[in-house]
């Protein structure tokens, strides 16, 4: 089509080059213009005048090519002057340039600066820490203070969440705990048999499970199974504006969504830990009875003598803290999702990674406290 062809004429004048364009400058013809600009003679002139009088139509691609040319010429110290545009062309320019002017200039590429990167990471971490402390304060208010002001937690919703995070997690927690018990018993039996002390398998399994492995393994399962679910669920609600919708209905998302989940997680984790402890000890018992030739009653008595109440209590205290940590991390990541479905995926991953990290940190702190106190 002749009217879609770009007419490109060059006329040299003193100190400047006049380029006359004619026809349609759109996504079809713009690449040709870019090539023509690249071939412009460089005879020491300081200005290129782009005469658009005969351009009958232009689109944003055409504007972009002209802007590119302007930047390219500017690098050589040459200015590009536009003139003679018909109203349609002026309108496209004004719309496109108005937007272009709003774009923030790109930061100069300074390469990777370790100090800046470290500073940015510290600031980001500081901000997240502040936000998470704020969230924890709000949750604490709704759980511990609000009930005395007549705003009770939503027990029905909490029960639902207990069922989701607790009851339905029993099979997987039980299976993993059984395997842990079997593994612990087999590993320790291998060593203790050399000293004729296989009965102490019961001591080792009982104490290690109640003090450490039961709470720890349960917390890892809860973080992977339920912490991620909370992050994904609240993240999806955030990006689909359901959280905003709740606020505009005058409902506080903390009370309505967050508190039931964190309460449920805090209650479920120690309960699951108790189950995990019992099942893991049963795993040890199975090895003791069927492989090491210890009677069931002897194994149970040995376990009861070895495991003190403090072993059980310290493990359960840790599991309560683990549950609180997992719940808060899942909620925090979920409510801070940005960027749609991709953000939900990142928040879910981050929730699991952060939860496991914080579980280990908390475990180390509490183990040290119980050890030294």
Partner 1 sequence: MPSIAAGAGSRPEDSTPAIVVKDLVARYGDREILKGVSMIVPRHEIRVVLGPSGCGKSTLLKHLVGLLEPASGSIQILGQEIVGMNDEELAQLLTEVGMLFQGSALIQSMTLLENVMLPLREHTRLQIADAERVARMKLTTVGLGKFLPLLPAALSGGMP
Instruction: In angstroms, give the least distance from the CB of 24 to partner 1.
Output: 25
Instruction: Pick out residues in 242-281 that bind partner 1 (CB under 8 A).
Output: 242, 244-252, 256
Cβ–Cβ under 8 Å, residues 283 and 185: yes
User: Tokens in use for 332?
Assistant: 């925090």
CB of 247 to partner 1, least distance (A): 6
Q: How far is the CB of 246 from partner 1 (least distance, A)?
A: 8
Which of 145, 153, 135, 144 has the alpha carbon at shortest distance from 256?
153
Q: Find out whether 251 and 154 touch, Cβ atoms under 8 Å.
A: no
Q: How far is the CB of 25 from partner 1 (least distance, A)?
A: 23
* Of 164 and 318, CB closest to partner 1: 164
Closer to partner 1 by CB, 83 or 120: give it: 120
Residue from 240, 295, 310, 341 that binds partner 1 (CB under 8 A)? 240
241 scored as a contact of partner 1 (CB under 8 A)? yes
- Count of other CB atoms within 10 angstroms of residue 179: 14
Radius of gyration of the chain (CA): 34
SS3 content of the chain, % helix, strand, coil (to 5): 75, 10, 15
- Least distance to partner 1 from the beta carbon of 15, Å? 41
Q: Both tokens of residue 152?
A: 């009770």
Q: Are strands 47-58 and 6-13 parallel, antiparallel or unpaired?
A: unpaired
Which class for 26: exposed (0-12), middle (13-18), buried (19 or more C-beta within 10 A)?
Answer: middle
Under rule CB under 8 A, residue 13 binds partner 1: no
Residue 256 C-beta: closest distance to partner 1, Å: 8
| Residue closer to partner 1 (CB basis): 111 or 250 | 250
CB-wise, 211 or 336, nearer to partner 1? 336
User: Residues 6 or more apart from 160 whose CB is under 8 A from it?
Assistant: 260
Give the x-and-dash track for 209-238 against partner 1 (CB under 8 A).
Answer: ------------------------x--xx-
When the beta carbons of 163 and 191 are compared against partner 1, the nearer one is: 163
Q: By the criterion CB under 8 A, which residues form the site for partner 1?
A: 233, 236-237, 240-242, 244-252, 256
């Amino acid at each position: 089509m002749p009217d879609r062809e770009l007419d490109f004429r060059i006329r040299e004048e003193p100190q400047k080059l006049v380029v006359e364009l004619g026809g349609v400058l759109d996504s079809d013809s713009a690449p040709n213009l870019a090539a023509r600009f690249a071939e412009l003679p460089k005879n020491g002139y300081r200005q290129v005048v782009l005469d658009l009088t005969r351009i009958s139509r232009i689109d944003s691609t055409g504007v972009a090519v002209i802007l590119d040319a302007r930047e390219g010429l500017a690098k050589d110290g040459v200015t590009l002057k536009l003139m003679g545009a018909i109203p349609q062309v002026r309108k496209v320019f004004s719309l496109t340039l108005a937007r272009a002017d709003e774009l923030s200039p790109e930061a100069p590429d300074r390469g990777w600066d370790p100090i800046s990167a470290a500073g940015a990471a510290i600031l980001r971490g500081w901000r997240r820490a502040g936000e998470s402390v704020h969230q924890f304060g709000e949750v604490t208010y709704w759980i511990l203070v609000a009930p005395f002001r007549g705003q009770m937690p939503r027990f029905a919703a909490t029960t639902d969440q207990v069922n989701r995070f607790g009851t339905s997690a029993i099979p997987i927690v039980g299976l993993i705990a059984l395997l842990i018990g079997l593994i612990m018993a087999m590993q320790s039996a291998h060593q203790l048999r050399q000293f004729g002390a296989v009965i102490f398998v019961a001591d080792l399994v009982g104490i290690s499970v109640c003090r450490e492995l039961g709470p720890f393994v349960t917390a890892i399962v809860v973080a992977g199974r339920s912490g991620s679910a909370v992050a994904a669920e609240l993240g999806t609600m955030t990006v689909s504006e359901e959280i905003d919708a709740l606020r505009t209905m005058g409902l506080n998302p903390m009370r309505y969504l967050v508190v039931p989940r964190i309460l449920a997680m805090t209650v479920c984790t120690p309960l699951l830990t108790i189950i995990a402890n019992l099942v893991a000890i049963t795993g040890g018992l199975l090895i003791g009875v069927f492989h090491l030739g210890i009677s069931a009653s002897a194994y149970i008595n040995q376990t009861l003598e070895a495991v003190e109440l403090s072993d059980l209590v310290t493990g359960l205290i840790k599991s309560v803290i683990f549950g609180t940590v997992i719940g808060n991390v899942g909620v925090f990541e979920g409510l801070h999702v940005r960027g749609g479905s991709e953000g939900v995926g990142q928040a879910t991953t981050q929730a699991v990674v952060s939860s496991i990290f914080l579980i280990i940190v908390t475990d180390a702190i509490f183990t040290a406290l119980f050890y030294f106190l």
